[in-house]
């Protein structure tokens, strides 16, 4: 995955914070035929990949999404930064829509619509609720593949070094510079955490965190209350 300009279109760096090697080759294969795309895998210090995907960059940082995504961003070279969780997938053809969206003068950042993988009405309910929240409140979460220009990322100062809600805080910061767009294209994320922690418990945890945050509770305190 070599970094190059795709005609006159801005190059996109896809930053992937990962805690283990599993699946990285499959992620790389998804974008293998896309021009103007750079992959950066941001790993914790204890993670070592025996063979990085062809052309991909590897950055290391203290374990934690905020620090790993910042390290990946600083190691990247694209004009657009897209932060993709390792258990989330986006259609490669949607990157053209990312470029088109950020070319609009009133847009500071964006994210995909969410689709939680899993059978049954419960996951449709979760996905629909997340998409309504994103569009009505301008508040997408990190599993929706947040993206912005490098300039906006630098003006914000990157992700805050906090243990929780780093995605919410960077979206709030980006909103000071313009609109937060939500694409019709979907980011498909694994239902693993809902299955592992319990569907209702995970849903209640998410809403509990957001309500407490909106009431003024600091992310550091929330991290103690709602350990990941």
pLDDT tens digits along 57-73? 888 888 889 999 999 99
**Residue among 47, 54, 37, 53 nearest 17 (CA):** 47
* Residue 198, φ and ψ in degrees, nearest 5: 105, 130
- Percent of the residues in the chain that have a pLDDT greater than 90, as a whole number: 51
- 3-state secondary structure at position 54: coil
Q: What is the pLDDT of residue 84?
A: 96
Confidence of residue 47 (pLDDT cuts 50, 70, 90): low
Bridge partners (DSSP) of residue 57 are 40
| 184 has pLDDT over 70 | yes
Does 2 or 77 have the greater pLDDT score?
77
Average pLDDT taken over every residue of the chain:
87
- pLDDT at 12 exceeding the cut of 50: yes
Report the sign of the C-alpha dihedral through residues 169, 82, 158, 57, in that order. Answer: positive
CA–CA distance, 109 with 12 (Å, rounded to integer)? 13
| Residues 6+ positions from 153 with CB-CB distance below 8 Å | 73, 81
Helix axes 166-174, 65-75, angle to 10 degrees: 50
∠ CA 49-52-56, rounded to 5°: 135
Section 23-32 average pLDDT: 82
* pLDDT higher than 80, residue 51: no
Asked which of 7-21, 55-69, 120-134 is least confident by mean pLDDT, the reply is 7-21
Residue 21, pLDDT > 60, answer no
Confidence label for 7 from pLDDT (cuts 50, 70 and 90): low
């Amino acid at each position: 995955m070599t970094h190059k300009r795709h005609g006159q279109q801005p190059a996109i760096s896809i930053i992937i914070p990962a805690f283990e090697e599993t699946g990285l080759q499959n992620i790389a294969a998804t974008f293998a035929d896309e021009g103007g795309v750079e992959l950066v895998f941001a790993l914790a210090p204890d993670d070592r990949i025996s063979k990085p995907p062809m052309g991909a960059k590897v950055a290391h940082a203290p374990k934690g999404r905020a620090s790993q995504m910042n390290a990946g961003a600083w190691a990247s070279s694209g004009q657009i930064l897209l932060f993709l969780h390792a258990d989330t997938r986006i259609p490669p053809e949607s990157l053209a829509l990312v470029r088109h969206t950020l070319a609009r003068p009133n847009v500071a950042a964006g994210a995909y619509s969410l689709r939680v993988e899993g059978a049954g009405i419960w996951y449709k309910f979760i996905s629909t609720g997340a998409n309504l929240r994103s569009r009505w409140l301008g508040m997408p979460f990190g599993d929706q593949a947040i993206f912005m220009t490098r300039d906006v990322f630098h003006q914000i100062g990157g992700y805050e070094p906090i243990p929780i809600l780093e995605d919410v805080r960077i979206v709030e910061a980006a909103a000071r510079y313009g609109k937060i767009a939500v694409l019709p294209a979907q980011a498909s994320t694994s239902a693993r955490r809902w299955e592992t922690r319990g569907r209702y418990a995970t849903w209640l945890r998410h809403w509990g965190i957001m309500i407490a945050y909106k009431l003024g509770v600091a992310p550091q305190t929330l991290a103690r209350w709602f350990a990941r």
